[in-house]
Chains A and B, each alone.
Chain A
Amino acid sequence: MKNLLNKPLKKHPDFRHTTTIDQVGVLERTSRITKRSIKNEAKMQGLKMALNMIDLTTLEGADTDQKVRQMCNKAKNLHVSSIKLPTTAAVCVYPSLVKTAKKEVEGSGVKVAAVATAFPSGQAPLDVKLADTKFAVSEGADEIDMVISRGRFHQGEYNYVYDEICAIKEACGKARLKVILETGELGSLDKVRKASDIAMYAGADFIKTSTGKISPAATMPVTYVMLQAIRDFYTQHNIMVGMKPAGGISTAKVALHYLIMVKEVLGEQWLNNNWFRFGASRLANDVLMQIEKQLSGAYQSADYFSKD
């Protein structure tokens, strides 16, 4: 676990000048990725991989202990199938429900991720965000999903954003840190790239697209730009950073295209849940349905798949 933790790089570039992005070129590239055709064994392997990369998520004001427990059970036992299915990578909940989740997934290998830092808006003072983070970690969270201060970012206070992430990273201790850029609020791919760079230099273990509370959430062009940022960071510093697109990915077909994108942009060493996650609540059942279709040759009713 220890060597999966990144550290902030104190020597960082001037964030006012980061790599620029050509949106037209990005759209062309991602549309080409969607033309990849994933069939038979490759499809089965991809579907299982996708299941094992899901952060099964519930982030509602109305979440209860019981709801979280049921979701944890789903994460451990996705479906009764004729083949052995993997578990999801993690469950993702609010800090107040970490303890419940932790107890429920114990021994299963499923991690508990907590959204912290005044999720989803991030509109709180740093000490509140730090307290929020420390609470989640003390409750047993394995991973922290933080949000960046988008307001400060748009004001051009890039070093503030960097320092804030560094501080949260320190508060995380042994928990891995996912930094949510909330790309739906950033406005351009240039800014997505800039925010990715800031997060990675500040020690992010993962960079993540969205909270799921803002539309658009994860899109292929945004994810592509973030993957390129990860690749450049790896080339320059030999440090791997994970990627988590979240929100809006609800079908197996789309998930497979994301995996192809990871394979072609970063390479196969990123194709496991140490380095790639899907933040999703609905994706699992569509993937399960596709797996059963691959096994039996026919689609089954959605009623055969549990909705927890």
Chain B
Amino acid sequence: MAKKSKHTSWDLSPAPESTGHVDIKKKYDLFIDGKFVKPKSGKYFNTINPASEQVLSSVAHANEADVDRAVKAARKASGPWQKLSRKERAKYIYRIARLIQERAKEFAVIESLDGGKPIRESRDVDVPLAANHFFYTAGWADKLEYAFPNRKFAPYGVAGQIIPWNFPLLMAAWKIAPALATGNTVVLKPAETTPLTALKLAELIQDADLPPGVVNIITGEGDTGAAIVNHKDIDKIAFTGSTGVGKIIRKAIAGTKKKATLELGGKAANIICEDATIDQAVEGIVNGIYFNQGHVCCAGSRLFVQESVYDEVLEKLKFRIESLVVGDPLDKNTDIGAINSKEQLHTIEKYIKAGKAEGAIMYQNNCDLPSKGFWCRPTLFTNVSQSSKIVQEEIFGPVLAIQTFRTIAEVISKANNTPYGLSAGVWTDKGSKIFNLSSQMNAGVVWANTYNKFDPASPFGGYKESGIGREGGLHGLQAYLKF
């Protein structure tokens, strides 16, 4: 028998990223026609740091008149931008990509300050990927005739783009880069809880000397988004956000000339077969659901484990969760940062309560939480079924629901038994099983033996209520062209 040796604990000391190099203005106006202009609404709202609840800045709240002004600027810029040679357009996009790389550290810190995500993620995922999207589309910008050979195409004109709070800069890149590469001009609205990196991007676009009006960035709340969607002179709507709002947008643009790509919610199945490499699968589960506090539309929130390895997976998962560090998003050791807003925290807590009320068994890690700010421990539920609320609905938080399965046919039917169809994960050591399972998943993205991997060259998007259209890759460019 092993001796129970006495041991002292070895805890990590704080290792916060510095914020001294970061420049956040007290107040931000609307970025229209290449300049920051005061909103006609005269209104401003605060954006806070969800980890400390302190106000970071005050940003303009655009009303219908402001949206109209932005759309007019985009329309005015549209003609010259379309006439510009594609090579010249590519140059601008490359310039934006390089400037993002140069200012990567500042963008990463602001992303973590404003959104609550761990600096490790904003530094290693959000910002580099955002730059990569600009690089990737810049590469296609002057080669579009090779991207779509033997076809005649033209840009739509003015694109209205509305993005969510979970990956603020990255989503701005996903939207702006393909629009510019295909010759469209843009009116973009960042989410109300995370406007700062989009506004920093506006400053960067100014520095890149992009012709005025080609990109307009206006901040606001739901009414601002509605004004963009309903504006008569917008040709194309690109939206990433909840399925609820997606449905409203589709209704609003029904019967108009407007085209739309909608990137909506998800409730992905992450499937662990008995022949999977269990330790790596456990990492994949953690990465699938606890990445970015679970604020990920493609999060692997429904876990399916084959019965014969269920006990082992659960034991290892619980042990692994214990080593996750929850706390200050700016600390380089933080794995799970702050929940994006008080509202979202309430939503998550409501679901946790509902899970318990339905008889599900909850497990959370035992870490201490900071006294201020919005926090949720990494959480998992067992004893759930397909009919449970926490299995059916998108929670958008670090909450995992675990079910077991016996046969492959059973797990395919359960995995597809959801109104969503954005993503899925498959874990097995057997190649044939990967092909069988992934070809039968009703999901836009299926990851095999990995999870949450993104690349600008790879199209992303959903089936069913997870959305319409694809972003990224050639599909993403196609969505901004009429043929």
Interface residues in chain A, defined as those with a beta carbon under 8 Å from any beta carbon in chain B: 3-4, 19-22, 24-26, 28-29, 35-43, 45-46, 49, 228, 234-235, 238-240, 259, 263-264, 268-269, 271-272, 274-275
Contact = CB atoms under 8 A, between A and B. Distances in A.
Interface stretch (B65-73, B98-106, B169-177, B272-280): B272-280
Interface in B307-346: 315, 323, 332-333
Contact of B280 (A21, A269, A275): A21
B4 A22 contact: no
Contact of A238 (B2, B284, B450): B2
B277 A22 contact: yes
Interface in B227-285: 275, 277-281, 283-284
B10 A49 contact: yes
Interface stretch (B11-19, B44-52, B360-368, B384-392): B11-19
Interface residues of B, number: 31
Given A25-B280, A28-B283, A239-B1, A269 B15 contact: no
Interface in B1-35: 1-5, 7-15
A264 B279 CA distance: 13
B120 interface: yes
A38 B12 contact: yes
B449 interface: yes
24 contacts: A3-B1, A3-B2, A21-B277, A21-B280, A22-B449, A24-B449, A25-B277, A25-B279, A25-B283, A25-B449, A26-B280, A28-B450, A29-B280, A37-B12, A37-B15, A37-B332, A38-B12, A39-B14, A42-B11, A228-B279, A240-B2, A269-B4, A269-B7, A271-B7
Contact of A275 (B5, B14, B275, B429): B5
Nearest to A270: B7
Nearest to B320: A264
Across the A-B interface, the 7 shortest Cβ-Cβ residue pairs: A25-B280, A240-B2, A37-B15, A37-B332, A42-B13, A22-B277, A22-B280
Specify the main secondary structure of chain A where it touches its partner.
helix
Given A36-B332, A272-B7, 14 more contacts: A3-B2, A19-B277, A22-B449, A25-B449, A28-B450, A39-B12, A42-B11, A240-B2, A240-B3, A268-B7, A268-B10, A271-B7, A272-B5, A275-B5
Contacts, number: 87
A4 B3 contact: yes
A42 B3 contact: no
Contacts of B3: 3-4, 240, 274
Interface string B170-213: 00000000000000000000000000000000000000000000
A6 to B, nearest CB: 8
A24 B5 CA distance: 34
A42 B325 CA distance: 15
A37 B124 CA distance: 14
Contacts of A38: 12-13, 15
B86 to A, nearest CB: 37
Given A3-B3, A272-B5, A275-B5, A24 B450 contact: yes
Max chain B C-beta neighbours (<10 A), residue from A4, A25, A38: A25
B10 A20 contact: no
Contacts of A272: 5, 7
Contacts of A40: 13-14
Given A36-B333, A268-B7, A29 B2 contact: no
Contacts of A37: 12, 15, 332-333
A3 B281 CA distance: 35
A22 B283 CA distance: 11
B76 to A, nearest CB: 46
A38 B13 CA distance: 7
A53 to B, nearest CB: 12
A218 to B, nearest CB: 19
B12 A238 contact: no
Contacts of A259: 10
Contacts of B278: 19
Contacts of A21: 277, 279-280
A42 B12 contact: yes
A45 B10 contact: yes
A264 B13 contact: no
Interface string B83-122: 0000000000000000000000000000000000000100
A108 B28 CA distance: 67
